[in-house]
Structure 1
Amino acid sequence: MHILPTAIAAAIALSSLAGHARADDALQAIVDQRLAGDRTGACMAVAVIDRDVVSRTYRCADPKDAARIDADTAFEIGSVSKTMTAVLLADLIERGEASLDDPLADYLPEGTAVPTHDGAPILLRHVVTHTSGLPALPARMQTPATDVANPYARLTEEDLLASLGEATLNVAPGERFEYSNFASMVLSYVVAHRAGVDFETLLKQRLFAPLGMDKAFVNSAPEGVRPAQGHSPNTQATSAWNFATNLAGVGGVRATLDDMVRYVQGNLGLVETAITPALVRAQQPVSEQPPMAMNWMLMPVAGRTVHVHEGGTGGFSAFVSVDRERQRGVVILSDTTWNSIGSLGSLGLHLVDASLPLGKPRKLASPPQDLLDALEGEYRMPPFPQVSLRQRDGVLHGQVAGQPEFAMAYDDAGDFFPTVVDAILRPQRKASGEYGFQWMQMGGVFAATRITQEGNATPAPQLDDAALAGYAGDYPLMPNFVLSVRARDGRLHAQATGQGEFPLDATGKDTFEAAAFGIEIVFKRGDHGEVASLDLHQGGHVLSGKRE
């Protein structure tokens, strides 16, 4: 989720360079500018496909780690796998064996219970646009037995189908975007079940072999392929993620840089193979809010539409883009997960179009004393019990009630992070000047509320439907960038132009938060007491808009 529009910055365009060697050198310089000295210690394999020129580079934050990755190294590509699952579905459609308008239930074993909403079924088009209404994860995965270091490993096909029968849809399919790995695992199972072979075999036969992706795999590594060791952003080695073969289309593909180059070349139409019609079909727009093709995000860039998808597992991150109009593609494979610190979007989008900002490495820094002073205190952070923040000798220490204290380092992006676990503490300065923080760990975002001297968190206002409706409206924040606020189901919901909807929670008089995104909205009233405008606070920035 993003709110602040991306700023524009000048940079060097690779397309102006002639020859493979010069292109490689230019790409290396750009990657080094973003990565060298980064406190994550990450290594990256990066390629830019510019028509018939492919530039590649293998770089590490610390040059001494250069041996970690090479051309034979296979990376976990995470959710980029979903675009491949979509191609397999598109291939079934090309063969006349499926349609996006078919109910999902028609593709599952007889007797499988599939939820509906007021009789409205989940269609395949809902699954490939994350509008199925299914939750993020299946219920039978969220159990105490789940291994947090390898969370999908124990989930079986039987667990997945049983979770379908236990799921409830809170909205009608197609009504709302909600990213769902649950639905993507079901789709992975569906395409294999309909094709009559296991998912890995199907991938190899219909996608990998035609495109020459000879080293790509799910669970059976080809000879000579070296699986990379994954890492967390605090430089610690992590476990590989494993998936039951027929569920692996959610994020279980492993591939080398050259495998992914061939995948992008196929998607750009630079090579013609048996899978080309399915690649083209999977790229066609399917939904408008947010804009999506079949498991591809459609991103507007300088008047063009670029297909983009990112992926992340416990120890890896990936970025892939396809710009058919410019005949340009980008691949980034990292042996470190960047999920908690902003993903690979900064480097990836800059390589998509040089007008987009490159960003810079995160480097270790000393936290400002006034920030340490402002954060020190006691907090309530559900579902955890009380959390304490203390400072000693210029270092912030955290402690969850009943657990050992831990020290946190600080980087020049403004985040604190423990060295013992992969997590981020991100300070949040509220409009009042008071500080709280977000705690990000294992894909979850937890908002911390300071406990008052009386021992309680500040109570949230109770607003009836009429009071909530008084905030509803459209608030232009920038040209062509509007925040729409709506009252529904006893709370406010907001949606920015081209982005997904998110709920707002009342935290004070005319003040609401979307804590998971670090957003605070303060509504301003006019002379007659009506809501006239708002200020949106996020990441130290403020955007203001008058109510239309």
Structure 2
Amino acid sequence: MDFSDLREEVEQRARKYLVPGAQLVIDRPGETVSIAVGTAEYGTGREVTGESRFPVGSVTKAFTATLAMQLVADGELALDLPLTEYLPELTGSGHDNFAGVTLRRLLSHTAGIVCDHEQSVRGSRSLRGLAAACRELEPLHPPGRFFSYSNIGYGLIGCLIEKTSRENWWDLIEEFTLGPLGVDPAWVVDPRAGRPAPGIVSGHTVGSGRDEVRPVDVRIPAVWAPAGALALSAEDVVELARGHYRTSRHGLLGPSETAEMHNAVDGAEPFGFADGWGLGFALFDSGSSRWIGHEGTTGGSTCNLRVEPASDMAVVLTTNATSGQMLWDDIVPVLRERGLDVGSYSPRRPSSSIPAGSVDCLGEYRNGELFWTLTRQGAGLILTDETGARDEVALCDGLLLRADKGGVVGRLLRDGKTGEITYGQVEGRLFRRRHIVGKDR
């Protein structure tokens, strides 16, 4: 594999997508390639180095999942015990909203919990109070039936970890997971008083022109910390990958716990996200093997993690721009040309469209605070999300929704008994059909 010109390839694509700064690390037996390009904040000239810490967003979930599995290995937690056995605060609502929810289902996003919910965030200032704030949440679906990505689910994992260990999540993950990896983290949010705050690379929103590259503060509520609070270098993230290698010397997990994390969970079909899901990791297929990993996005940064445990290889990209995902999508083919067949998700290609009027699908689809609507426009459909963004979409075989500008944006799901369309799935999130705004004729 020849990576001699890789810096130039990364710099070229960073300029193309207006990404101020990025890190790319490739780790494989006998070689580690580490590239840092650009600036930590647009217009300042402050260079990105290999030690610069980027908010890694949801890649934090892979660290939280690893900590949870460490506690499973120690006998402190059980994967299939009802969550209410650990968190009785979830009961008492008069409903069995959390019946059947387990740690396994939280880790695999099959618990039926909405992605985000402002009322739960406002109702709790700490992880320990999150369970009581969530107990009235109506489930999206019966636990184990579908996959639906959930930040709140990982907040509850953090709450579970704190309740069981009687220590805060920040201290625990530093001591048991990050410490053995040799990683000294920074945090987007850290409620511990008097803690030093190492510098974090600035995030950026990116518009269509150079004058629209703007620094932004990356902020999240404390109750979402287990889902997205870490700020790390790409080399730090590679240390987690090494903890999941076949020949790992970190000793974080035994073979049984590692296999649980890396193998697909039944019922976890993350359409629009990945080819499968384990306990804390997305699963991505390549032409030759299966990779595990995670994507991370915040309001101004991105992180992409890929690990091939069987070959002791990992690839990590961090960027400080909302357009960083485009850089990743463009650099993966470059790596493949050089012999590194990185796993990535390829959405299903619909074979043909079907008349929109032949399917009763109009209405509002909701997941917590998130929602979108399908309405009729002429012979076609319009998908409008909660921001007001509109897409013309075509209904295709398999009830796939294809945007007229290209690409599948989601799918519709029927109830197995009634045949009625009851859900839509977009970007790995399930949306329950709530309000019928019109009937197809």
| Same fold per superposition (TM over 0.5) | yes
2:133 to 150, 163, 167: 163
- After TM superposition, the score normalised by the length of structure 1 is 0.58
Alignment of 1:316 onto 2:301: yes
CA deviation after TM superposition for structure 1 residue 238, in Å: 1.1
Alignment of 1:228 onto 2:228: no
Equivalent position of 2:352 in the other structure: none
User: What aligned pairs does 1:57-206 form with structure 2 within 5 A after superposition?
Assistant: 57-60=35-38, 67-108=46-87, 113=92, 120-141=99-120, 155-157=125-127, 160-206=130-176
- Deviation by residue 1:32-66 (Cα, 9 ceiling, x = unmatched): 3432232x343111111122311111123999766
Equivalent position of 2:242 in the other structure: 265
Cα distance change on mapping 1:473 and 1:92 into 2, 3 Å: same
2 CA distance for matches of 1:185 and 1:251?
Answer: 10
1:49 to 18, 27, 30: 27
Over the matched positions of the two proteins, sequence identity in percent amounts to 19
CA contact (8 A) 2:277 2:283 kept: yes
1 CA distance for matches of 2:20 and 2:260?
Answer: 35
CA contact (8 A) 2:413 2:421 kept: no
2:226 to 249, 252, 260: 249
- Matched letter for residue 76 of structure 1: P
1 CA distance for matches of 2:98 and 2:16?
Answer: 55
- Matched letter for residue 292 of structure 2: H
1:302 to 266, 271, 287: 287
User: What aligned pairs does 1:258-297 form with structure 2 within 5 A after superposition?
Assistant: 258-277=235-254, 279=258, 281-290=260-269, 291-297=276-282
SS at match of 1:347: helix
- Count of matched residue pairs: 377
CA contact (8 A) 2:82 2:100 kept: yes
Cα distance change on mapping 1:495 and 1:316 into 2, 3 Å: closer
CA deviation after TM superposition for structure 1 residue 330, in Å: 1.0
- Deviation by residue 1:196-255 (Cα, 9 ceiling, x = unmatched): 2111111111111111113455637987942111111231111231443x7511111111
1:207 to 171, 177, 198: 177
SS at match of 1:268: coil
- Matched letter for residue 301 of structure 1: S
More displaced stretch, 253-262 vs 499-508: 499-508
Q: Which has the higher strand share?
A: 1
- Matched letter for residue 272 of structure 1: R
- Matched letter for residue 278 of structure 2: A
Alignment of 1:237 onto 2:215: yes
Alignment of 1:327 onto 2:312: yes
Give the structure, 1 or 2, with the largest relative contact order (CA under 8 Å, sep 6 or more): 2
Cα distance change on mapping 1:236 and 1:88 into 2, 3 Å: same
2 CA distance for matches of 1:350 and 1:314?
Answer: 27
2 CA distance for matches of 1:91 and 1:355?
Answer: 30
Cα distance change on mapping 1:159 and 1:501 into 2, 3 Å: closer
Structure 2: segments with no counterpart, 5+ residues:
208-212, 270-275, 345-363, 366-376, 403-410
- Deviation by residue 1:361-411 (Cα, 9 ceiling, x = unmatched): xxxxxxxxxxxxxxxxxxxxx99xxxxxxxxxxxxxxxxxxxxxxxxxxxx
- Matched letter for residue 229 of structure 2: G
SS at match of 2:16: coil
CA contact (8 A) 1:77 1:316 kept: yes
Equivalent position of 1:347 in the other structure: 331
CA contact (8 A) 1:115 1:169 kept: no
CA contact (8 A) 1:130 1:177 kept: yes
More displaced stretch, 61-70 vs 250-259: 61-70
- Matched letter for residue 68 of structure 2: L
2 CA distance for matches of 1:182 and 1:32?
Answer: 36
CA deviation after TM superposition for structure 1 residue 193, in Å: 2.0
2:414 to 467, 486, 492: 486
Q: What is the Cα-based RMSD across aligned positions, in Å?
A: 4.3
1 CA distance for matches of 2:343 and 2:289?
Answer: 17
